[in-house]
Structure 1
Amino acid sequence: MRLLIAVCVMWIGLATSNADSSQRLQKMEQIMKDLTKQLVTQQFYVEERIRSDGDSGIKQVRRISTGTDTYNSETTSAVHSHPNYKDVIGFGEVNVVLNGVEFRTRHNDYSLVMPSHHANAYHVTEKIPYPQVPPSVLAKSTVPEQIAEMKEYFRAFRLQNYTIRNYGNFFKPVLCYLEGNWEWNTNHLHEPFHSETHHLDAESYDALVDKVRLNSYTGMSDQHQNVAYLPKKIMDIDENGNPRYAQWNYRILCNPLNHVDLKVFKPIDDIAFRMSRKYNMSTYTRTDEARFTVAAEPHRATFNQREGYGMFEDKAYARGVLDNLMHQVPGANNYRGGQQDTEFNETALYADLGHERRENTARYHREYRLHHGMQFNQRGFSDNNLWVAQTHQNRVASITLRSCKTVGTLKTNCTSTTEKFTYAIPLEIIYLNPLHSWNPYKLEMKNETMVAENGRTGDAHNAHLAYNGISPSQFYQTPSEFFGNTAGQEVGVLDPSGSIHRVMASGIQTILPNIPGVGVVRQRWPIYPLHREGDSVGKEADALLEMMNHMSSMSTLYQAPTVQGKHDTVKPDLQFRLNPSQTDPPGPHDHEFFVSASDWEDLINKNVMVRVQTSPSEGSQEESHSHYLELALDRHTHKPVINKCDEQNHHCWDGHREFEEVTYPLF
């Protein structure tokens, strides 16, 4: 503001003495409008700068430790467990980037809630129900018999084996995600989502910013981790030149899924964490810090029963399992709200060639198509993790574009387009299990005060100190005999008759304690993306890490030999080119595509169909396009052919029918 005043004073001083005061005032107002517009542009520049630095994803977590090497401090995991709570999912403070907006959360510890199925009001939610106890468990007459039967369900889930028990209805996956958006600013602070343990500790957004500024200036941290940095910006300027402010906010929700096999998860190496703990990969995957990637195609993944996760080849893909899962998640319109994105006479279509329908842009997606399958567009310029959802909620800040076209020499037609979007990234998939509902000792749910009254501490061997029932924050109902070594984890709880029982926490955990005869069962599968993964240097580092971890099999990629003797080596992808098309439009052009060596071998030897996306053709925005090919063996010649192109039989709409391998012979 001082800068604006100084500019105005300087302008007045330079004004001629006979200038009309009204005219000067109008010019001053115009200067103020221009400066405000420039401020909007500067804010946009900051976001664009962040967008070019990397993808949407987690950037940092709170530092707890340090060391002689950089990797001795925390990396990116904020996952932890509060199993004594009935409805708390442990997730700490994180720095996050969503579509170029960088912010810092409070300590999250979110609850198991989903958008409302019944109302489309802004941020209305409802609880996610837990799975029921299998009837075959309840049919057992004694607790030891129930324990034995319940273990069989966990063994079936752990081994992904339905022949042991049909566990599908009792281990239900939910996808939990972080959502953020700009809201029209009222300065009235409201909690973005419920947490049993944390809340934003401020009376207004301005007061919240002041607390964060003080903490940053002094290096202090909020004792209860109840502050967050949520930026504010000028979103728009009205017709009178007044700025309209928008406040950034976020929340964490979950969405129930129908079925997700464990084979689609594969660990992502966190070499910094492994180095700091000296862990091998097997040990690393049994920690809270482990992070996983999701397979592109589930039918190409296999389940490793020993390790408890999937094995599949890393590959580029156009649309995969994660896209299908995220598309089940609604934005701010909730489940009942649908919407279509129509801009400049173009309607966004569903990004799957097998479904010729308009995209429900109120669900989270990161790609769409136009021109009835000719062109696929990605949301964002270079953000792999930009899932967006359109909304009509009044609270969500909008942006308006006015576009004018001159018709002939006299008439100008102008149209306005106003858009509202929210953004999201996946955090984790959690498998809810029957332990949340199984209460074989019929322990009574009470309030926290009653459970711990008269100094009760949950002593497992003293009825006078055992908990008097259970509560949402003292949620202990699983018999300790269900698990193996329970030293220091079991508590004593009185049933309604006054008998003491040794029980374990039954809330959500990242990894359950060892179950004899079953082993270790992971309940939470973190899949959150990282901001740095979109940086070109980060991509190089990840590629180098992969080469170092598999030095023998990737020795052919090194410029100098790294190992001696015979060994299997990675084979390069095969490059192909569609025979040129002369169809006009779009005009003469061709496409290239790549197939991994393993996929090609499966096609040749097992007739396993291969699906690939071609490179885009060169040309104008209207003419540029890609194709989605399905390759198979010809039934007569047994040679690879195009089985489908863009879900059409044998040839593409623009005339491509055959392809040839591209080779680079040595001279």
Structure 2
Amino acid sequence: MSETLQLQVYTTEAGLARILAADTQGLKLRLTHVGLGDGAYDPAKAPGRRRTALKHEVVRVPIAASRNNPTTRQLDISAIAQGAEEFWVREVGFFDEAGTLVFFWSDATRPLGYKSAPSRFLLGLSLVITEVPIGAIQVIDQGQPLNLAIGPIEADLKGEHPEGKTHHFPLTNMIETDWLAESSQFEYLAEILRGMGQSGVFSSRQYGAAGTEAFNRTFDGAYAAINLHNHPNFLATGGLGEIAVMINGYYLRTRHNDYRLRSPVAGKYLATQDVPPPPVPDSVARASSVAASVEEMREYFRAFAARDITLRDYREHFRWNLAVLEIWPELLTGAVDDTFESFRHTEEIADYRKLLNRTLLLDATGHSTRYENGSFIPGSIRLVSSTGRPQYVAWRYRITTTDVGSVGDYPMDELITPLDLPIQRWDTNRTSQQIARTRRQRWRINRSLSADPHWGQYNEAPTVDLLDELMGKVAGLDGAGTVLAEEYQDSGLVTRLTQWNSQEPLNAACYNRRYGNAVNASGRTRNLRSYNDPTLFVAANTRPEVAAFTEGEFSYRRSYAIPLELILRTPLEGWNPYAIKPATKLQGDGLSPESAYNGSHTNGRYYLTPAELFTDNVANPDPADTGATPRWIKDGGGTPRLVRASGLYAELPRTFQGSDLLRLRYPVYPLYHEGGWAAAAVEALAGDYGINLAQLLRGHMAQQAEIDTLSKSLRHLQGELTQLKLKR
């Protein structure tokens, strides 16, 4: 049996005299033995410090090993008692070479332990010496390192060691080595995954979709791109299902999102604020009646559909919001707090261990929970410090939205282009034109504003493009308005990153993927983020909640992002011509004038738009949608009015006869798999096929032209022959 304990010992009068005499002579008192007994008492009571022997000493043994720590005034002493004696160890004495009791300890109620005959009693003690100079004492030990002194054990239990040193015990050193290996393995996997694809959406929940062919698999949406859907009866909420992403090689799977359109602001950790909708046109707001206001609002939508600002200058009343998905390594605390706002969904479990166990259960069974409120939040060891301490992190995510400009700044027809989606076409047996009229359609942000964009020579002439420009307006975790320089200690010099196309410093607080730097070994001064990931965007932050790498005087905390969707905001969201008041105590079901809602509410009853504005119903409805049908609600004077939901739609119902559906949500996310070698080969093969087909068509047309010319010549020759016959 062994015990380790820190003891506050008492100095005997005889011991004090011996120490004083030795110190006077320039000598040290030599402690040599430890005595153990079973007498229990209060050491402060008589005889107290006059004690010359233990009350009932059972065994006395030489000191096996020791260590003197003048800084903490501790003597670490270990000893071993072995023999036939059996007793409770209730008192301990420390003797010098003359047999004088110098220090003693006892407790009236608490023993140190039990000494039994079959086993050795290993004793490790730290004596706190406060009554005499600790430098006047010398411990004479047997040189038997039993490693029972509490000091090294306490040091290793703290999980750190001095920089450049190791722990005291092999086990703790092996644990640190295991931490290093785990950190390396996690990054090793990320390195491989980066090379197999690009930062982007990895997959989505498949729901009931199925099929026998590979193209039937729902890589990024079972019923819509990233399973987006409508919740217009909630304020500024984009319906969005569960998705999995791979960003910078780090995998994460989200809960059901249904995110509120909020942008990052400075202040508290993950602080955001609502992104306001575009303003209602003055002519609409000043209309003489609700009917006149409806007609005037319709004119703005008619002007936008015609792209004709002479009808109404609609540009500032239709604005673009860019939604992005961010991930970052948050220091693991055990708590799982929601990182962004959703009226409809939150993490169902706030404890990391319980949430992980729940995830493991669902992965093992293949089950999907009813409310889809559980993310897979991977944990990892981000690094092991030079003092041996591991940095545990949980990979968190959030969705934020930033107003990036109006349709005047970025005309719709020049900003985005629909992608051809052969997998979706084959999966649903539809044409590209049919896919474009559904929620499955994905879009790309053009390289520059152009009504006829193309990828021509993109790799040969890399430049800051529109996506870089828009993402550069999105703030990272420090929030909008933050400016952070990015510097590195490189070959003895401090290198500060610049913008791609100028020597102006890069603002690393906003998301970026292109930057300038000093000439590297390959003679380049411009770089893309990551070793090889064309769609990775990175932002710096200073949040203490985020894991940091430190090198010299610089500290590095980063988050990573991909664009998700562009959202076209309209003035309908803030238009309230009936002066409907918000209600706190909700009444009515809205299904009839008699049961009209008593007021609006941002959470499920956001109905403000006069129903007569729309000429049809929601297009392509999905079971995930809410707020698709009109509701009755009382206006400011208490009169029931028939209204429609005023929030976000994937496609807005038509506002005038003959108009097309106005799409409000444009998925622009990259797909992880599209960045791999196989996808590149297929794309190149498709390009070759298209070129060959075009050449074949041109050849056919050229041959047809030759045939037509020959036919004309033959007809001319026939005509001449006919004339000759007539002349005869």
Normalised by the length of structure 1, the TM-score is 0.72
Cα drift, residue 479 of structure 1:
1.8
Cα drift, residue 97 of structure 1:
0.7
Q: 1:240 to 1:375 in 2, by over 3 A?
A: closer
Cα drift, residue 531 of structure 1:
0.5
Cα drift, residue 139 of structure 1:
2.6
Q: Which moved more, 1:29-38 or 1:105-114?
A: 29-38
In the alignment, structure 1 residue 260 sits paired with structure 2 residue 410: yes
Partner residue, 2:558: 421
Q: How do 1:513-592 residues align onto structure 2 when only pairs under 5 Å count?
A: 513-517=653-657, 518-545=659-686, 551=690, 554-555=692-693, 561=696, 565-566=700-701
Find the partner of 1:88 among 219, 233, 237: 237
Cα drift, residue 210 of structure 1:
0.7
In the alignment, structure 1 residue 109 sits paired with structure 2 residue 246: no
Q: Which moved more, 1:40-49 or 1:465-474?
A: 465-474
Q: List gaps (5 residues or longer) in structure 1.
A: 1-17, 303-310, 402-414, 569-667
Q: 1:33 to 1:130 in 2, by over 3 A?
A: same
User: Aligned equivalents of 2:388 and 2:321: distance in 1?
Assistant: 46
Matching residue's letter, 2:419: I
Cα drift, residue 240 of structure 1:
4.5
User: Aligned equivalents of 1:144 and 1:212: distance in 2?
Assistant: 53
Partner residue, 2:651: 511
Find the partner of 1:347 among 488, 491, 495: 495
Q: 1:535 to 1:266 in 2, by over 3 A?
A: same
Deviations 1:75-95 (A, max 9, x none): 312221111112311111001
Partner residue, 2:595: 465
Q: How do 1:259-408 residues align onto structure 2 when only pairs under 5 Å count?
A: 259-262=409-412, 263-298=414-449, 301-302=450-451, 311-315=452-456, 316=458, 317-344=462-489, 345-353=493-501, 355-371=502-518, 375-401=525-551
Deviations 1:27-66 (A, max 9, x none): 3333332222112111111111211111110010001121
Paired positions, count: 512
Instruction: Report if the CA contact (8 A) 2:487-2:554 is conserved.
Output: no
SS at match of 1:60: strand
Q: How do 1:611-630 residues align onto structure 2 when only pairs under 5 Å count?
A: none
Cα drift, residue 272 of structure 1:
2.1
Q: 1:416 to 1:134 in 2, by over 3 A?
A: closer
User: Aligned equivalents of 1:199 and 1:92: distance in 2?
Assistant: 13
User: Aligned equivalents of 2:345 and 2:304: distance in 1?
Assistant: 33
Cα drift, residue 365 of structure 1:
0.5
Partner residue, 1:579: none
Partner residue, 2:390: 243
Q: List gaps (5 residues or longer) in structure 2.
A: 1-142, 153-166, 619-627, 704-728
Instruction: Report if the CA contact (8 A) 1:330-1:363 is conserved.
Output: yes
Partner residue, 1:98: 247
User: Aligned equivalents of 1:327 and 1:393: distance in 2?
Assistant: 20
Matching residue's letter, 1:54: G
User: Aligned equivalents of 2:307 and 2:194: distance in 1?
Assistant: 40
User: Aligned equivalents of 2:531 and 2:310: distance in 1?
Assistant: 47
User: Aligned equivalents of 1:45 and 1:108: distance in 2?
Assistant: 30
User: Aligned equivalents of 1:94 and 1:567: distance in 2?
Assistant: 50
Q: 1:556 to 1:271 in 2, by over 3 A?
A: closer
Instruction: Report if the CA contact (8 A) 1:286-1:511 is conserved.
Output: no
Q: How do 1:624-643 residues align onto structure 2 when only pairs under 5 Å count?
A: none
User: Aligned equivalents of 1:252 and 1:360: distance in 2?
Assistant: 21
In the alignment, structure 1 residue 482 sits paired with structure 2 residue 482: no
Instruction: Report if the CA contact (8 A) 1:451-1:471 is conserved.
Output: no
Instruction: Report if the CA contact (8 A) 1:120-1:336 is conserved.
Output: no
User: Aligned equivalents of 2:312 and 2:700: distance in 1?
Assistant: 47
Instruction: Report if the CA contact (8 A) 2:499-2:505 is conserved.
Output: no
Cα drift, residue 506 of structure 1:
1.1
Matching residue's letter, 1:478: T
Bigger-Rg structure (1/2): 2
Q: 1:512 to 1:546 in 2, by over 3 A?
A: farther
User: Aligned equivalents of 1:277 and 1:143: distance in 2?
Assistant: 43
Instruction: Report if the CA contact (8 A) 1:177-1:252 is conserved.
Output: yes
Partner residue, 1:442: 579
Q: 1:218 to 1:393 in 2, by over 3 A?
A: same
User: Aligned equivalents of 2:327 and 2:512: distance in 1?
Assistant: 14
User: Aligned equivalents of 2:581 and 2:425: distance in 1?
Assistant: 43
In the alignment, structure 1 residue 38 sits paired with structure 2 residue 181: yes
Q: Which moved more, 1:164-173 or 1:63-72?
A: 63-72
Find the partner of 1:493 among 633, 643, 666: 633
Instruction: Report if the CA contact (8 A) 1:348-1:368 is conserved.
Output: no
Matching residue's letter, 1:45: Y
User: Aligned equivalents of 1:364 and 1:503: distance in 2?
Assistant: 40
Partner residue, 1:595: none
Cα drift, residue 323 of structure 1:
0.3
User: Aligned equivalents of 1:146 and 1:393: distance in 2?
Assistant: 47
Q: 1:73 to 1:81 in 2, by over 3 A?
A: farther
Deviations 1:138-182 (A, max 9, x none): 232233322222122112223333222111221121111111100
- Aligned-pair identity in percent equals 29
Partner residue, 1:74: 218
User: Aligned equivalents of 1:160 and 1:177: distance in 2?
Assistant: 28
Partner residue, 2:102: none
Instruction: Report if the CA contact (8 A) 2:277-2:573 is conserved.
Output: yes
Matching residue's letter, 1:151: R
Partner residue, 1:163: 310
SS at match of 1:256: strand
Instruction: Report if the CA contact (8 A) 1:346-1:370 is conserved.
Output: no
Partner residue, 2:717: none
SS at match of 2:539: strand
Cα drift, residue 546 of structure 1:
5.2
Matching residue's letter, 1:565: H
User: Aligned equivalents of 1:135 and 1:193: distance in 2?
Assistant: 34
Q: 1:564 to 1:489 in 2, by over 3 A?
A: farther
User: Aligned equivalents of 1:19 and 1:527: distance in 2?
Assistant: 70
Q: 1:346 to 1:566 in 2, by over 3 A?
A: farther
Deviations 1:222-245 (A, max 9, x none): 211000001111122245423221
User: Aligned equivalents of 2:380 and 2:702: distance in 1?
Assistant: 58
Q: 1:554 to 1:509 in 2, by over 3 A?
A: farther
Cα drift, residue 556 of structure 1:
5.6
Instruction: Report if the CA contact (8 A) 1:480-1:486 is conserved.
Output: no
Deviations 1:382-404 (A, max 9, x none): 11111001111111101235xxx
Deviations 1:241-280 (A, max 9, x none): 2322111101000111123221210011222222333332
